[in-house]
Structure 1
Amino acid sequence: MSLTVEEILALPGLADMALRAGARNRHRTVRWSYVAENQGIAGWVMGGELVFVTGINHPRDEANLLQLVEEGSECAIAGLVILTGEAFIQRIPASVTALAEARGLPLIEQPYLLKMVVVTHLIGTALVQMAQTKRSRQDILTQLLSGDYPSLTTARQRAAHLQLPLDSPRRLVALRLSAVSGLFDNHAPQEAERLLQHTRQALQEHLAAWSHARPAALPVVVQGDLFILLLAEQDSLRAELACLYQDLHAIIGDLALFMGLASKVEDCGHYHRALNEARQALEVAENLRPASGLCDFSELGVLRLLQAVGERSVIDSFVQQTLGPLIEPNRKQPHHLVDTLDALLQENGNALKAAQRLNIHRNTVNQRLQRIEQHSGQSLDDPLFRMNASVALLVWRMSEAQRQERP
């Protein structure tokens, strides 16, 4: 367990330490502190350190401080603390602050009058206390998510003591990295494992910061390969998750990420049910690969039945039999008929509204409808064909194949 840079700066007694750059990554976790005595730090850190630079045992001119920022950024340290005063490093050069901001490296200024022994003692003590608190919070949430707890009364009492706001409407989101096998196919096992763990850590830190900024925040729970968010219910939640999904693409690299969203639960007694729902939605997302990366359990409908089909090839065959005859590969836009059928069904069979949805003339829609019936050998008046087409189009719209094939 660890503290974040932001939590360290908020510790009583450390008010004189000031964040000068890299505020966007102040949520980075600090695993331990390290006082840099050498000219460089690349060979002396492993990532996650809060590195202190005093200038006492080694001259620290502007060039050297720039070097430390570069190396610290490359080595993924949590932050760089520069001690300033009259004797050694008098001030932090503007170029160093600018580089730290550009690299997103938290840069902290500490006056020499604030003794290192005081700072390290406060941080060390807080790390122990915070570790115990975070462990207790995680323990409560893990029990509630698994459904294995002594009693709800006890869980609520512990939560109240630890300031965990449990009894309010929540939506549970389960996230999981995908395409991990490709990582090991393209890299040596040691490098692939390093990349995977680095990505998981960066993902967890980003999720923790994102969740922390939301109202009535609860900690991110990591359960096996799942990252679990318990979010306060809001009308804008879906839009915010869509933005989060886009932001996470910069972190996960060549990996893929999918999310399952549970229906709303009113209190902590239903977290176990919510996790099961989110898992089901996540499995659908991983199977059908929606472009948004997200499936909502409350909107799955028939997809929950499709998910129960053990062989994905059965679903693919059904989609191909239903929609395949409508694809015209030799045309510039081979999916016009599929798009037209989709628009017609979306508008409950109203050809005029379908034309408006597609922004084309109604006569064009009528011509396409005739071709749909010719190619499929089915009548659009047949309710069974409309039902089959609706289900096939639902899979088609969500499938990654559709997204990749279309311009």
Structure 2
Amino acid sequence: MKRLIKNGQCLVDGHLQVRDLLIVDGKIAKISQHITAATPVDQIVDAQGLFMSPGLVDLHVHLREPGQTDKETVKTGSLAAAHGGYTTIAAMPNVIPAPDTPERMRDMLVLNQRDGAVHLVQYATITTARGGDELVDMPGLKDAGAFAFSNDGNGVQTAGTMYQAMIQAARLNMAVVAHAEDDSLTYGGVMHEGSVSKRLGLPGIPSVSETAQVARDVALAAATGAHYHVCHVSSAATVQVIRAAKAAGVNVTCEVSPHHLLLSDEKITRDNAMLKMNPPLGSEQDRQALIAGLLDGTIDVIATDHAPHTDAEKAQSMLKAPFGITGSETAFAMLYTKFVKSGLFSLAQLINWMSVSPAELFGLNAGKLTEGQSADIALFDLTTPFTIHSDDFLSKGHNSPFIGEQVLGKTVRTIVSGTDAYLSKD
């Protein structure tokens, strides 16, 4: 099948320039200022006025299947990703049962392949059922197709367990992707510990619960040589630890979530579970440190931590509601509007953090618009304002604090391996 995209605006040396792009049998066959097909094409897509981006890459999503399909499924979660311009996503293993054996990993990959609307890679757990100290069969899980190892949703509590995991992961040339949280320092909190939590009378989680475990783990990564990737960094102190570790030559990378860049705990003016996530929103000082960490290269990528829940669960008090917000369908538009349009980030930087860098860090065949590459492309309208409505979500989860925001950067079309995975009805 041949498709020709005409007049799209591509980033060339950091600047938008008009290009045509020819897709043949799911791959990019040619990119040029003007393409006239030598033979007839099956479809011509007019991308006049649209930004033609490499498909976005998300290293951190929760698809909830199997075990919690009332919240999300592989099908709905991957469709939501496509709606947000993502063409490759990495699914976390906090499902029931968790992919903690080679057999379960193979079953997950069959499900992902069958129902996924985008390219899906799958994390395995670090320990059995994401808890305790029993390491999984790492070599067996790698052979079965695991992307990397993570207990996301839980921090690995025992240093010796993490040390042994890193030793094995280093031998296998696989990454350990950590939700950093020392349970002994969380104190049953539901939001960031600070002046806001005290004013609202809600139990707080001190930032040191994250920072202490990251500090432990970078020392273990230095000792083992493992690739240690920190999920959803949220505090200024953690950024400092990672910055120092990188300067010392430790193989550490990290991600930040859109909500931690966009919001601080000052936005929590009442008991509102739409603003309950783990790690919690930090102080404004933390938020500014995260932005600075992106700009100076300490933070490598932006990942959504897309975490859908049912409407009923999120209608509860922060004391009872689960942690997490959705992110796949709002990330690009919110970040483009708040940071690129304000001049703080360039469009090229944003695409690097949301597509190029995550692909490069984890060796994914993604993040590029080059000839011979899989035709994974997102077309965005950067000029027409629209309002984020939950009715437009393809995710089962509507738990987003960004509903009602007027933004730019609407996804018009998402193409995966040359085929439409999402097409706007407008």
Q: Which has the higher contact order (CA 8 A, sep 6+)?
A: 2
Task: Kindly indicate which of the two structures has a greater share of residues assigned to strand.
Answer: 2
Q: TM-score, normalised by structure 1?
A: 0.24
Q: TM-score, normalised by structure 2?
A: 0.23
- Who wins on radius of gyration, i.e. which is larger? 1
Task: Kindly indicate which of the two structures has a greater share of residues assigned to helix.
Answer: 1
